[in-house]
């Protein structure tokens, strides 16, 4: 069965001659539908470049990217924009909510772009905000929300059109550990509903929640690890097991 | 261990079996189960050292003794409370394994690290699952979060070791 | 620390070159109109006196029904010098534009008081005719042409032998009918009926200060409406009134331009200060006090203002003679350049005050933010709910337009200032269109009251305003784009196409411009009506520009705004997304 996202021999370099930097050097990657894949690696290893190329935000120097059977690395900017409306949701480290729009207006945006009517878009947006636990103040400006709340709104925006895949670049990077945990929980819940996730992260906790962890080193994929289902953890004050 | 006993007696004097019960209840799965004999021998030792003092209780046919802290006991307890737990911990099981195996050429260092990394990630997953299934005590939550943070640090350390290795620093 | 503060101020000017240039341009324009308004009036005063002296002007000039009356006046006490009475009558003359009435004065011999001063050709009409200089200029007759006068016996063709000026004659067409000198015999030939003649009695007094009393005396001693007197003082006033329409236009445009200056400076300062919010935070972190930060900014702006002032003063002083030139059609000599520094000071006061205060106030407000607040506020603006934006939303505006309006109107101050600047500019264009409509009005046998150089002045000033408006629009768009680069990147990751991104910026600014331009139409018309009345124009001649001309104004505004905002917007929309997102 064809993978949802597939990359073949991806390469991306910047600059010329002696100043040339090879950010990606021949990366092959598959993400199946419904998978949660985490991408880790030391800083400067090229993981952000990889994500940008996979999301169509950057063009590879060579290689191919296929999303749901369609080749996307050669699409025009306009076609890519349309693709992003329906197929790719994005979550950023710095949230990137539009400051002049309220929370619900931010979430509505992809819905309106996809052609939904105003009222329907508003309804869906409000519902999403409620689901993610930030429905209390839909008309608040982003600057009035905490980091964790902003990221939840951003996640709602990414999920608005039920995209094929949600991609994130350090989604918990700017959050404290409590907010991190909450956002991770929401991501896991989305995954539980069948949402495909591809997240770049240096947060090991996020990686631990993934089905598969890909490590990038020096522009190449190093290893891909799948983890087992969770084993039982006993706390000191749990009643001792009677064997 | 001894300080535990002192702490447990700080509030109120107590019978030996009360102490045993409390120990089992609070720390049952962390410590090996203590039998009554071990409890009482510890109490006697503390008595000999003058940190606790035991009284015969009249009217209790079984002749159990009630123990309470002495002044010296309180002082010892206070000192224990005042002294912070040592911070420098240079003993790490993985590191010992790594150092020995790498220098003796017993196994590929990279493979060792990978396996350990996977174990750490798995442990993270286990801890998060435990959190998700509910912890009724705040202390429990904090304990788990502490373990998570230690694991994150260990993972970072693994990366550092890997980096240094690739630069060619002999172990 | 002072040296550092000054150095930082000048560094600021260098880095924001476009905004600095606009500031200088605005200050210069405002200064030149203020200076021109003063200088044009002043440049005429002395030359009149020279002309009066050279003509041995009449302290009192009386126009009476009979020759005996004229001699009577000449014999009164207090008269130092009087000339022989000269007959004056009207005749129909065939001018290039059509047949018109002409006042002809019959000279018997060379006059001694109120002597016409030859400009071209001869002063003695002889068998021909000497035209008053501004009349000849206005109707296009030169020395050597033939002028046909209607006489009862038939047409009389006269050779134009010269043009002359006289201090008692106002500039044609204010002086209407125009004046010409002929010989006594020619006048008798043109108008044999002496009962149709009036007589001029030019009087010089022993004590010129009594001219008013003397003139009143003469006036009272005759039946009402039979005599006309004019004193030297009134003659001078008439000449100076020449400059009045020009001064009026200049004053009005000064006010309009000052309005534009204030709005545009407000926008520029607001935009620079918001860009500097982050820098202010960093500067404060480095150790500059809020007061020093405000000082830097104020020095920057005021310096630019001073540069603009000096340029504007030079322009005003150099242009004043050119503007006053037409007035000199009735005066001896050419307008002199006598730059009065007082005018520079008067111009400097409002301009520098506004610049300095505006700069100080807007930075004080921002530098009082805490360091962190300042740094963070550089990253985004508060999401204020704008009623207009919500209205547009509900009215079904397209998504890019709705978003663009929200962004634009979120900065309420800037949106208001931009609208005001556009309205002021388009209002001036409406004003010019009305003026053109009035001038083009059919009545071709009536010579228009409006001096010929006025439209040129108005068009020039409008041109300057347009240049300022377009430059400001480009600058504002560049600023808006710089502030929005990151948001554009985010929009594109959510699925906006580059064209939609461009459109959000362009359509919002265009919509605002069209609204402002439309609102300015009644304002411009009102201004024109008011000005026309203040300049003493006849309201029956007033014509307002037709609706299809006026309709062009918002249309042109839309086109100009689309073009000037389009290019920077398009460039921004095509910035690679990952670069846009990294922008701060």
Q: What is the 3-state secondary structure (H, E, C) of C6-55?
A: HHHHHHHHHHCHHHHHHHHHHHHHHHHHHHHHHHHHHCCHHHHHHHHHHC
B149 has pLDDT over 80:
yes
**Cα R_g (chain B), whole angstroms:** 23
pLDDT tens across A118-165, in order?
Answer: 899 999 999 999 999 999 989 998 989 999 999 999 999 999 999 999
The pair of three-digit structure tokens given for residue A39, joined into one six-digit string: 């991408």
Distance from CA of C409 to the nearest CA of A (A): 10
Q: For residue C527, what pLDDT is reported?
A: 87
Instruction: Collect all residues of chain A within an 8 Å Cβ-Cβ radius of residue B127.
Output: 233
B130-B135-B137 Cα angle (round to 5): 145
- Cβ distance B27 to A234 less than 8 Å, yes or no, reads no
Distance from CA of B122 to the nearest CA of A (A): 6
Q: Nearest by CB to C494, which of A84, A141, A142? A: A84
Band the pLDDT of C52: cuts 50, 70, 90.
confident
- Cβ distance A237 to B145 less than 8 Å, yes or no, reads no
- Cβ distance C495 to A92 less than 8 Å, yes or no, reads no
Domain presence at residue A192: no
User: What domain range includes position A136?
Assistant: 99-161
C385 has pLDDT over 80:
no
Q: Identify which has the larger pLDDT, C419 or C246.
A: C419
How many residues can be counted in chain C? 584
C364 has pLDDT over 80:
no
pLDDT tens across C538-578, in order?
Answer: 677 677 888 888 899 999 999 999 988 888 888 888 888 88
Buried b (16+ CB within 10 A) or exposed e, C377-407: bbebbebeebebbeebbeeebebbbbbbbbb
Q: For residue C573, what pLDDT is reported?
A: 83
C450 has pLDDT over 70:
no
pLDDT tens across C208-219, in order?
Answer: 888 899 989 888
Q: Hey, where are the domains in chain B?
A: 2-82, 93-167
Helix, strand, coil distribution of chain B in percent, nearest 5? 65, 5, 25
Distance from CA of C390 to the nearest CA of A (A): 11
Mutate which: A81, A92, A102, A119, vs C, most C CBs within 10 A: A81
Q: Where are the beta strands (DSSP E) in A61-204?
A: 62-67, 70-71, 88-91, 165-169, 196-200
A162 and chain B: CB distance < 8 Å anywhere?
no
Contact B46, B5 (CB under 8 A): yes
Residue of C nearest to A163 (CA): C494
Side by side, the strands of the sheet bearing A62-67 are A21-31, A5-14, A62-67, A70-71
Instruction: Collect all residues of chain A within an 8 Å Cβ-Cβ radius of residue B144.
Output: 233, 235
Domain presence at residue A166: no
Average pLDDT over all residues of chain C: 80
Q: For residue A175, what pLDDT is reported?
A: 92
Residue that has been written with the tokens 């918990």 in this structure? A172
Task: Taking residues C225-240, report their average pLDDT.
Answer: 85
Total number of domains constituting chain A: 1
- Cβ distance A230 to B139 less than 8 Å, yes or no, reads no
Band the pLDDT of C412: cuts 50, 70, 90.
confident
Task: Taking residues B25-54, report their average pLDDT.
Answer: 77
* Phi, psi (rounded to 5 degrees) for A230: -60, 140
Residue that has been written with the tokens 């150099």 in this structure? C318
Instruction: Collect all residues of chain C within an 8 Å Cβ-Cβ radius of residue A117.
Output: none
Looking at residue C345, the DSSP 8-state letter turns out to be: H
In total, the C-beta contacts within 8 angstroms joining chain A to chain C are 78
Residues 6+ apart with CB under 8 A from C553: C426, C429, C430, C433, C517, C518, C520, C521
CA–CA dist A197, A188 (Å, integer) = 9
Task: Taking residues B132-139, report their average pLDDT.
Answer: 80
CATH number of B2-82: 1.10.10.10
- Which chains have at least 3 CB atom pairs separated by less than 8 Å from chain C? A
Which residues does residue A24 pair with via DSSP β-bridges, in sequence order?
Answer: A12
- Cβ distance A209 to B33 less than 8 Å, yes or no, reads no
Q: For residue A36, what pLDDT is reported?
A: 94
> Which string of DSSP letters, residue by residue, matches C48-99?
HHHHHHHTT--SEEEEESSHHHHHHHHTSTTEEEEPPPEEEEEEEEEETTEE
Lowest mean pLDDT segment, chosen from A1-5, A87-91, C429-433: A1-5
* Phi, psi (rounded to 5 degrees) for C176: -140, 120
- Cβ distance B140 to A234 less than 8 Å, yes or no, reads no
C373 has pLDDT over 50:
no
The pair of three-digit structure tokens given for residue B158, joined into one six-digit string: 């693994």
Domain presence at residue A207: no
Judged by 3 or more CB pairs under 8 A, whether C touches B is: no
Q: Nearest by CB to A237, which of B124, B128, B140? A: B140
Q: Nearest by CB to C581, which of A81, A96, A98? A: A96
pLDDT tens across C100-116, in order?
Answer: 888 999 988 888 888 88
B118 and chain A: CB distance < 8 Å anywhere?
yes
B159 and chain A: CB distance < 8 Å anywhere?
yes
Judged by 3 or more CB pairs under 8 A, whether C touches A is: yes
pLDDT tens across A22-60, in order?
Answer: 889 999 999 999 999 999 988 778 888 999 999 988 889
Domain presence at residue A132: yes
Task: Taking residues C504-527, report their average pLDDT.
Answer: 92
Instruction: Collect all residues of chain B within an 8 Å Cβ-Cβ radius of residue A238.
Output: 28-29
- Cβ distance C381 to A52 less than 8 Å, yes or no, reads no
Domain presence at residue A119: yes
Q: For residue C372, what pLDDT is reported?
A: 46
CA–CA dist B26, A237 (Å, integer) = 5
Average pLDDT over all residues of chain A: 89
Count other C-beta atoms under 10 Å from residue C19's C-beta.
27
Residue that has been written with the tokens 């005759």 in this structure? C222
Q: Nearest by CB to A42, which of B124, B137, B159? A: B159
Domain presence at residue A106: yes
Domain presence at residue A30: no
pLDDT tens across C486-502, in order?
Answer: 889 999 999 999 999 99
Residue of C nearest to A55 (CA): C493
Distance from CA of B127 to the nearest CA of A (A): 7
- Cβ distance B29 to A213 less than 8 Å, yes or no, reads no
C137 and chain A: CB distance < 8 Å anywhere?
no
Residues 6+ apart with CB under 8 A from C14: none
Instruction: Collect all residues of chain A within an 8 Å Cβ-Cβ radius of residue B150.
Output: none
Which residues does residue A22 pair with via DSSP β-bridges, in sequence order?
Answer: A13
Q: For residue C386, what pLDDT is reported?
A: 58
Domain presence at residue A4: no
């Amino acid at each position: 069965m064809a993978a949802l996202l597939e990359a073949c021999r991806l390469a991306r370099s910047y600059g010329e001659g002696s100043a040339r930097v090879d950010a990606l050097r021949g990366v092959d990657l598959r993400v199946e539908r419904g998978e949660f894949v985490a991408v880790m690696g030391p800083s400067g290893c090229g993981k952000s470049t990889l994500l940008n190329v996979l999301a169509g935000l950057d063009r590879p120097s060579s290689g191919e990217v296929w999303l749901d059977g369609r080749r996307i690395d050669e699409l025009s900017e306009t076609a890519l924009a349309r693709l992003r409306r329906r197929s790719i949701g994005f979550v950023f480290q710095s949230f990137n909510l539009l400051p002049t729009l309220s929370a619900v207006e931010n979430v509505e945006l992809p819905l309106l772009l996809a052609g939904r009517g105003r009222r329907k878009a508003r309804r869906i947006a409000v519902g999403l905000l409620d689901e993610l636990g930030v429905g209390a103040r839909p008309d608040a400006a982003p600057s009035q929300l905490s980091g964790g709340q902003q990221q939840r709104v951003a996640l709602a925006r990414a999920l608005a059109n039920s995209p094929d895949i949600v991609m994130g670049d350090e989604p918990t990077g700017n959050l404290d550990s409590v907010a991190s945990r909450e956002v991770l929980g929401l991501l896991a819940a989305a995954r539980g509903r069948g949402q495909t996730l591809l997240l770049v992260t240096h947060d090991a906790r996020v990686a631990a929640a993934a089905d598969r962890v890909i490590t990038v080193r020096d522009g190449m994929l190093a290893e891909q690890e799948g983890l087992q289902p969770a084993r039982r953890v006993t706390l000191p004050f749990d009643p001792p097991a009677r064997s | 261990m001894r300080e535990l006993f002192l702490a447990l007696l700080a509030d109120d004097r107590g019978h030996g079996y009360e102490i045993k019960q409390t120990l089992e209840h609070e720390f049952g799965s962390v410590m090996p189960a203590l039998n009554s004999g071990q409890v009482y021998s510890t109490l006697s030792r503390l008595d000999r050292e003058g940190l606790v003092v035991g009284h015969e209780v009249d009217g209790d046919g079984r002749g159990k003794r009630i123990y309470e802290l002495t002044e010296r006991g309180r002082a010892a307890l206070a000192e224990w409370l005042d002294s912070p737990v040592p911070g420098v911990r240079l003993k790490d099981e993985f590191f010992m394994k790594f150092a020995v195996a790498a220098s003796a050429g017993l196994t590929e260092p990279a493979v060792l690290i990978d396996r350990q990394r996977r174990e750490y990630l798995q442990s993270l997953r286990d801890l998060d699952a435990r959190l998700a299934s509910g912890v009724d005590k705040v202390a429990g939550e904090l304990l788990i979060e502490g373990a998570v943070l230690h694991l994150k640090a260990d993972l970072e350390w693994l990366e550092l070791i890997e980096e240094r290795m690739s630069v060619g620093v002999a172990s | 620390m002072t040296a550092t503060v000054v150095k930082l101020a000048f560094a600021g000017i260098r880095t924001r070159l476009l905004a600095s240039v606009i500031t200088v341009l605005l200050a210069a324009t405002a200064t030149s109109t203020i200076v021109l308004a003063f200088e044009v009036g002043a440049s005429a005063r002395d030359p009149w006196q020279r002309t009066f002296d050279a003509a041995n002007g009449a302290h009192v000039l009386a126009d009476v029904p009979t020759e005996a009356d004229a001699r009577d006046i000449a014999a009164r006490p207090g008269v130092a010098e009087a000339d022989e009475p000269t007959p004056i009558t009207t005749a129909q003359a065939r001018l290039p534009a059509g047949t018109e009435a002409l006042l002809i004065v019959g000279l018997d011999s060379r006059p001694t008081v109120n002597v016409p001063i030859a400009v071209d050709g001869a002063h003695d009409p002889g068998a021909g005719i000497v035209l008053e200089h501004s009349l000849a200029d206005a109707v296009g007759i030169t020395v050597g042409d033939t002028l046909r006068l209607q006489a009862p016996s038939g047409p009389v063709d006269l050779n134009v032998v010269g043009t002359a000026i006289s201090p008692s004659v106002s500039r044609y067409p204010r002086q209407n009918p125009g004046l010409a000198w002929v010989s006594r015999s020619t006048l008798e030939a043109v108008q044999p009926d002496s009962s149709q003649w009036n007589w001029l009695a030019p009087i010089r007094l022993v004590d010129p200060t009594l001219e008013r009393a003397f003139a009143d005396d003469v006036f009272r001693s005759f039946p009402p409406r039979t005599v006309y007197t004019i004193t030297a003082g009134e003659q001078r006033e008439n000449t100076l009134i020449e400059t009045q329409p020009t001064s009026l236009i200049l004053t009005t445009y000064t006010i309009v331009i000052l309005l534009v200056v204030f709005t545009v400076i407000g926008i520029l300062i607001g935009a620079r200060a918001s860009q500097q919010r982050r820098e202010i935070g960093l500067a404060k972190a480095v150790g500059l006090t809020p007061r020093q930060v405000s000082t830097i900014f104020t020095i920057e702006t005021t310096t630019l203002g001073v540069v603009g002032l000096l340029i504007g003063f030079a322009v005003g002083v150099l242009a004043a003679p050119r503007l006053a030139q037409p007035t000199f059609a009735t005066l001896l000599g050419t307008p002199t350049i006598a730059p009065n520094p007082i005018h520079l000071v008067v111009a400097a006061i409002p301009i520098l005050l506004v610049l300095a205060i505006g700069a100080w106030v807007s930075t004080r407000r921002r530098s009082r933010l805490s360091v962190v607040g300042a740094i963070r506020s550089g990253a985004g603006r508060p999401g204020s709910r704008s009623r207009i934006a919500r209205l547009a939303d509900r009215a079904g505006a397209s998504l890019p337009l709705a978003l663009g309006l929200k962004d634009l109107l979120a900065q309420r101050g800037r949106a208001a200032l931009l609208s005001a600047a556009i309205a002021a500019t388009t209002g001036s264009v409406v004003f010019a269109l009305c003026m053109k409509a009035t001038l083009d009005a059919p009545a071709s046998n009536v010579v228009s009251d409006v001096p010929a150089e006025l439209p040129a002045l108005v068009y020039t000033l409008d041109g300057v305003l347009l240049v300022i408006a377009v430059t400001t629009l480009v600058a504002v768009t560049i600023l808006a784009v710089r502030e929005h680069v990151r948001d554009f990147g985010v929009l594109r990751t959510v699925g906006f196409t580059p064209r939609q991104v461009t459109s959000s910026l362009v359509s919002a600014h265009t919509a605002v411009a069209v609204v402002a331009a439309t609102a300015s139409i009644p304002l411009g018309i009102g201004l024109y009506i008011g000005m026309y009345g203040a300049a003493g124009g006849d309201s029956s001649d007033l014509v307002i520009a037709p609706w299809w001309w006026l309709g062009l104004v918002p249309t042109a505004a839309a086109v100009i705004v689309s073009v000037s905002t389009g290019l920077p917007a398009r460039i921004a929309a095509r910035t690679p997304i990952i670069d846009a997102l990294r922008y701060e």
